[in-house]
């Protein structure tokens, strides 16, 4: 059973547009929700993360929106650039066990 469900599987956005990737979970033991960016041939790199006691976190063009009651969180990439073209993974951590579960990934293509 997928602990973290991610959508869409792929996304095409025009340069300057907003990219939105969504994730949903059921396990209320999750206490930390990171997003990773992965380029081909590279390992995932931490992009931005949020704790469940905060509803939004913004770092530059990247924003996480977190809805604790709905058990959903999303990544918004403002002013998307071709250099943002990569695969994005959401994840969630079970605090007591320091164990991470990953979504299935979203392949983002930003058209020039």
Q: Interface with other proteins by CB under 8 A: which residues?
A: 6, 32, 34, 36, 41-46, 49, 89, 91, 93, 97-100, 102-105
Collapsing DSSP to helix, strand or coil, 48 comes out as strand
Query: What's the min distance (Å) between Cβ of 91 and other proteins?
Result: 8
Closer to other proteins by CB, 26 or 79: give it.
Answer: 26
Closer to other proteins by CB, 41 or 112: give it.
Answer: 41
Which residue from 79, 98, 77, 82 is spatially nearest to 35, judged by alpha carbons?
Answer: 77
Q: From CA 6, how far away is CA 72, in angstroms rounded?
A: 10
């Amino acid at each position: 059973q997928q602990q973290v469900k991610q959508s869409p599987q792929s996304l095409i956005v025009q340069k300057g547009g907003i990219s939105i990737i969504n994730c949903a979970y059921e396990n209320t033991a999750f206490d930390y929700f990171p997003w990773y960016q992965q380029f081909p041939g590279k390992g995932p790199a931490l992009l931005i993360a949020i704790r469940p006691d905060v509803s939004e976190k913004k770092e530059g063009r990247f924003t996480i929106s977190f809805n604790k009651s709905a058990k959903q969180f999303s990544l918004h990439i403002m002013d998307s650039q071709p250099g943002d073209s990569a695969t994005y993974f959401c994840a969630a951590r079970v605090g007591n066990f320091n164990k991470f579960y990953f979504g299935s990934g979203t392949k983002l293509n930003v058209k020039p």
